[in-house]
Chains A and B, each alone.
Chain A
Amino acid sequence: MQADKVKVAILGSGNIGADLMYKLLRQPGPMELALVAGIDPASEGLARARQLGIATSANGIEAILADPEIRIVFDATSAKAHVRHAKLLRESGRIAIDLTPAARGPYVVPPVNLGEHLRAANVNLITCGGQATIPLVYAVSRVTPVRYAEMVSTVASRSAGPGTRQNIDEFTFTTARGLEAIGGAQEAKAIIILNPANPPILMRNTIYVMPEGDFDEAAVQDSVAQMVADVQHYVPGYRLKNLPVVERRATPWGERPVIIMLLEVEGAGDFLPPYAGNLDIMTAAARRVGELFAAHLLKTMEVTA
């Protein structure tokens, strides 16, 4: 192993795993992709990994557990599989970055709270909608207290796989909980819409934020602009279609000013098509989390040496 690199593995060779593989190869940072493990020997993800000269296995997590040098594991399987994987990975001392909705570890959104969880053994990436919208709710709540936040995520039908479709309720619960716990909203709601338009639409998100009281609009605009730039570091296709607008709306708390942000996420097109910004933001966030964990591990190792 190169001394300045941390060995990582991808578990799951579906669309997400394959897209993440391309991102890790393109921008490895302090990581070395040592293994892609799946359970379907005929999967396109494994075939592509082999072509690229990366070690592969169709034995799932067993191959990862057999290589003690692998320190960080990206789990792109399913919530059900991750429950089992989380236990095995924890027992063998690996860090798990969980891209499934299993939520065995704390929620992380890289520019918001990753620093707090660098010692965690397992972190969860919430949902695609959460990765897209929590940073913007947080950008407001760090300037002024937020009474209520709401997000509406519209994704192209073709980018919503069977996992999302059969667990659409979990998307709304988990995202809303993330907007509260990490975004800093006292109360939140999440809505997801699948749009079958052809050609497929880019992932779109509308974020409504109602502050608790009066607020400094310029400070909110600055904070939001800063956050968009921070996310763009790891998701280049993350952009507001407009400066945030403020509308007065009838709410259960009376007529109140509501900040409305219209966000578009274009994928990098690594493996998945650019319209699937919802999948891209998950793999981009995972890569970013892995990068920070790996850098932290290297620093800790230096200290112990």
Chain B
Amino acid sequence: MKAPRLTDTTLRDGSHPMRHQFTREQVASIVQALDRAGVPVIEVSHGDGLAGSSLQYGFSHTSEFDLIETARSHAERAKIAALMLPGIGTRQELKEAVARGIQVVRIATQCTEADVSEQHFGLAKELGLETVGFLMMAHMRPPEALAEQAKLMESYGADCVYIVDSAGAMLPSDAAARVRALKEALSVQVGFHAHNNLGLGIGNTLAALEAGADQIDGCLRGLGAGAGNAATELLAAVLDRLGLNPGLDVFGLMDAAEYIVAPIMPFQPFPDRDAITIGYAGVYSTFLLHAKRAGAQYGVDPREILVELGRRQAVAGQEDWIIDVALDLSRRHTAGTRKESRL
């Protein structure tokens, strides 16, 4: 195993539990701490990527372009990255993000739909960016199918392709097999992005590293969608004990998590009942808060909503199906109650 490159995505994946309310001040202090602690890449954008600010996903408090600009001005060594999902964000926002300071773009598609990203990789390369492909919901397809999709991204110009466990549904053997398939198929780097819904955020990341992953993701305090991600400070401590520390200040990251991020978190992401359900049912981690809200609004158990979304094979970004499922379940319950009262 070799020391991996770490991308911290507190300011992107963490935007979900923060309900997209990050401020310039928060971004400045988090970026400063990460930069000082030797984190080489810091991702900043709406949780659903550039242009994610919407009724569908939640509106941003502060424009992500302003947050990117703040991040860039507070990073001395770290590169600033943004996420974009074709279908939500477009080349227009990508250009704006470059103008405001990103040096890396991570282009994410559902793991079967890599061919929607060709024009975005093309522009990113033209603009001189480092590019990362993000195959989301990768638990839904076998390793060989993912390798095919990853090769498409490589052909479009990806410098690295990630296996993204958006649902936090993988077991360590799933993560390892998928990373290995990409390592065998690609000549560019391979990454792994974990969610902790089944309590395997760190474990799956280690399995990915053993299978040859070159890059990994973390969030301070695990602040991310669902039960959160692999915690950056934990990864630093574990990598250090493994003798694979890529130059991270373990205590600096522990302090940033404890004293900068923990005090501003609305809650500590944790594999609780609903978050475990996300991993267990294999649905998109960001559905968590939306399912809780729709559950309260329509009087349905969020767990039932999440399980039904898994059955319907909902994919990344389909938050609107949550309302649909909640209404269907609520109708079914009403019909059921009526039947019972007749008995």
Contacts and interface: CB of A to CB of B under 8 A. Distances in A.
A169 B315 contact: no
A196 B110 contact: yes
Counting contact residues on chain A (CB < 8 A from B), the size range is 35 or more
A259 B217 CA distance: 38
A196 B112 contact: yes
28 contacts: A168-B86, A168-B87, A169-B86, A171-B87, A172-B87, A189-B51, A189-B54, A191-B317, A192-B87, A193-B110, A193-B315, A194-B116, A195-B110, A195-B313, A195-B315, A195-B318, A196-B112, A196-B113, A201-B313, A204-B324, A206-B324, A208-B55, A242-B324, A242-B327, A245-B327, A250-B58, A258-B55, A262-B320
B2 interface: no
Interface residues of B, number: 32
B92 interface: yes
Contacts of B112: 157, 196
B312 interface: yes
B59 interface: yes
A68 interface: no
Interface string B316-330: 111011011001000
A157 B59 contact: no
A196 B149 CA distance: 13
B320 A206 contact: yes
B91 interface: yes
B142 to A, nearest CB: 13
B110 A247 contact: no
A247 to B, nearest CB: 7
A83 B115 CA distance: 25
A204 B318 CA distance: 11
Given A150-B56, A191-B56, A241 B324 contact: yes
B62 to A, nearest CB: 11
A154 interface: yes
B59 A245 contact: no
A197 B313 contact: yes
A28 B312 CA distance: 38
Interface of A: 148, 150, 152, 154, 157, 162, 165-169, 171-173, 189, 191-198, 201, 204, 206, 208, 210, 241-242, 245, 247, 249-252, 258, 260, 262
Given A193-B317, A194-B110, A251 B324 contact: no
Given A241-B324, A260-B323, A250 B315 contact: no
Given A152-B320, A173-B90, A241-B324, A247 B116 contact: no
A150 B315 CA distance: 19
B87 A206 contact: no
Given A166-B119, A169-B91, A251-B55, A196 B315 contact: yes
A154 B113 contact: no
A241 B86 CA distance: 27
A196 B316 CA distance: 11
Contacts of A168: 86-87, 116, 119
The 7 A-B residue pairs with the shortest CB-CB distance in the complex, in nearest-first order: A206-B320, A197-B313, A169-B90, A196-B112, A208-B55, A192-B87, A194-B113
Given A152-B56, A193-B110, A208-B56, 9 more contacts: A165-B118, A166-B115, A169-B90, A191-B87, A196-B113, A198-B313, A206-B56, A242-B324, A247-B297
A102 B25 CA distance: 45
B160 to A, nearest CB: 22
B88 interface: yes
A251 B60 CA distance: 9
